[in-house]
Amino acid sequence: MSHNAPAAEPDKRRLRRGFLAARNALTTDAVRNAAHALAGRALGMPEVAGAHAVAAYVSVGAEPGTRALLDALRARGVRVLLPALLPDNDLDWGEYTGEGSLTHVRHGGRMTLSEPAGERLGPDAVTEADVVLLPGLAVDGRGMRLGRGGGSYDRVLARLERAGARPALLVLLYDAEVVAHVPEEPHDRPVDAVVTPSGVRRFR
């Protein structure tokens, strides 16, 4: 059942492997074309168009691309916050001011991430965002998101809730990653909308 956390975890692991394998099979051109389509779709959303501050992230590898969107937001004068992974998997934040404001950080044996090189603003900085982009591998018809499993964004969502902050929660995905159902656990929170290259789908 959906609230049976021990049963949800192996299901989530299996699903993650499948979605990651499908992403890794994409060509460079497909990833690049999707990134431009995603930026256009996201920028057309009223929540994004009216935002003063957006908490985003830098996509890696075959993840749905965010670079075009980050640069377009910056060009519009939007304050863009990017995460920096802390040793306990929580997220600190820094400001994106263009390509030169990023640094590559290797986290143990796991992965190298592009993180903000400048001043750290503290984990609570995310509560100032009007829009929060959450990375994910899939989302279902209820808006439940399958994350990567590190738990970093569960903490972000809990922090937003504690602060009484209500930013628009968006996930950027490929079209095939909008699915009928993803397993959920009691702490999981639905997103407000999913943005794919072919359009935007809202959940509430």
Q: Where are the domains of the chain?
A: 5-198
Comparing 45-49, 110-114, 115-119, the range with the smallest average pLDDT is: 110-114
Residue 43 assigned as binding residue = no
Q: Residue 2 — pLDDT band, cuts 50, 70, 90?
A: very low
Q: In terms of C-beta density within 10 A (0-12 exposed, 13-18 middle, 19 or more buried), how is residue 177 classed?
A: buried
CA 68 to chain CA mean position, Å: 14
Q: How far apart are CA 35 and CA 173, in angstroms?
A: 10
Q: Is 151 annotated as a binding residue?
A: yes
Is 185 marked as binding a ligand?
Answer: no
Residue pair 138/15 in contact (Cβ under 8 Å)? The answer is yes
142 is in an annotated binding site: no
| pLDDT 10s digits, 139-185 | 999 999 999 888 999 999 999 999 999 999 999 999 999 999 999 88
Residue 57 assigned as binding residue: no
Residue 14 assigned as binding residue: yes
Name the CATH code of domain 5-198 (choices 3.40.190.10, 3.40.50.720, 3.40.50.10420, 3.40.50.170): 3.40.50.10420
pLDDT of residue 4: 47
**pLDDT-based confidence at 6, cuts 50/70/90?**
low
